[in-house]
Amino acid sequence: MGEASELFPLIVRMDEEGELVGDLGLLSKQDLVDIYREMRLLRAFDERAWNLQRQGVIGTYAPYKGQEAAQLGATKPLHESDWLVPTYRDWAAGYVRGVPVTHGLFFSKGHPRVGDVPKSAKVLPAQVVIGAQTLHGVGVAWATKLRNENAATIVTFGDGSTSEGDVHEAMNFASVFSVPLIFFCENNQWAISVPIERQMRAKTIAQRALAYDMEGFRVDGNDYVAVYNLVSELADRARRGEGPFLVEAVTYRLGAHTTADDPSKYRVVADEERWAKRDPIARLEKFLLRESLIDEERILAVDAAAKEWVDEVLADFKAELSISSSVLFQNVYAEMPQSLANQFDHYQKRAKEVRA
C-alpha cells in the first residue's frame, strides 16, 4: 500500500495566501463575498458567546472559531430535502440550515428551547455524547432510502470521535446498507488535550474508509471553496443512490476545546501561530482584497453589521431565558401519560400552597 498522502491527497482550491490553486467550481466571486460576510458574522457571535460564559450568563460552551469554512462548506451545498446531523460544536452549520445560533447558548444552559429545532430545517438536535450522532445519521439516511426520498444526509463529528466504537459501528452499518450518507469529520487536530497522533497510528482519518469499502476524501477544511465543491459533488451522488462517503476536513480549532479548557497547557505557541495564518476567514479576505471585491471600508462595515446582528440575537436570547418550571412535565412526552399527569397535578397544587 502506498503512503496515505498519495492515496488520499489533500484537496485544495485556495491556499492560505488566498491564491487560487484550482478553480472556483460551482461558486462565483459574489458567492465568496457573501460567505465572507456570513463567516465574519458567525465569528463575532462565537467570540461573544465565549465572553458570555466568562460573565456567568451561560454555562460551558464549545467554540467553533477556525472551523467556519468546514462547517459552512459542508452545509451550504445541501438541498431542502437533505438532512444535517451535527455534533455539539456545529452551531455555524446549524445556522446555515435555519437553526438559530441562540441554540448554542440554550444548549450551554440546559434550556428546553435547544430541542425546539424548526422542522423545516431537517436538523437533529445537537448532542454531547461523543460520536453517537453518527449512528443517528445512519438511521436518518437509511430512512430516506427506505422511503425512496431524493435526499442526502451529512453527519458531522470531530477527530476524537473516531476513537469511539459508535463511529465504526455506524460506518460499518452504513456501508452494509449502502445508505446515502456523508460522514464529515472535522479534524481539528485535538480531542480536548490529546493530539491526533496519540489517537491513532493511521496517517489519515480518510484512509479508514478502506476498511468499510467506501470512498474516502481528505480536504483542506480551512478552504471553503474546496469543501463546498467536494460536498456538493458527494451530496449529488448520494441523492442518486450512491454512498456512503467519508470526508476528512483538515482544520484547527483556534480556541479552546470548551470554555472549561486551557489549551496553553498542552499546545505550543508556534503551532497555534502557524495555524492562525491558515485562518479560513483571513484566507478568504486576502483573495477578496486582491480581486478588489472588498476594501478596508467594506470590512469595517461588515464588522459593524456583525456587532449589530449579535446584539439583536442576544437580546432575543435573553428575552427567552425566563421559563416556567412546568416544562419539566410538559416537555417530556408528546402526550403526557397518566402517571406523569398525576405528578403534574400534585406539583401544581403544591405550587399554589407555597404561593399562598
Residue from 113, 208, 257, 278 carrying the catalytic annotation: 257
N- to C-terminal Cα separation, the chain: 77
Query: Is 253 considered catalytic here?
Result: yes
CA–CA–CA angle 60, 162, 213 (5° rounding):
150
- Cβ-count burial of 232 within 10 angstroms (0-12 exposed, 13-18 middle, 19+ buried)? middle
Give the chain's largest Cα–Cα span. Answer: 77
C-alpha cell at 25: 467550481
Residue type, 294: I
Alpha-carbon Rg for the chain in angstroms: 21
Distance CA 313, CA 101 (A): 8
Residue from 54, 198, 266, 346 carrying the catalytic annotation: 266
Query: Is 266 considered catalytic here?
Result: yes
- Across 8-77, where does the E strand assignment appear? 10-11
Q: What is the DSSP string of 160-219?
A: GGGGSHHHHHHHHHHHHTT-SEEEEEEE-SEETTEEHHHH-SSS-SGGGGGGGT-EEEEE
Distance CA 71, CA 64 (A): 9
Crossing angle of helices 29-54 and 280-290, in 10° steps, is 140
C-alpha cell at 154: 451529512
Distance CA 303, CA 37 (A): 9
Residue from 253, 267, 278, 283 carrying the catalytic annotation: 253
Nearest Cα to Cα of residue 233 among 213, 252, 253, 219? 219
Distance CA 16, CA 37 (A): 18
Helix (H) / strand (E) element for 83: namely strand 83-85
Query: Is 111 considered catalytic here?
Result: no
Active site members: 253, 257, 266
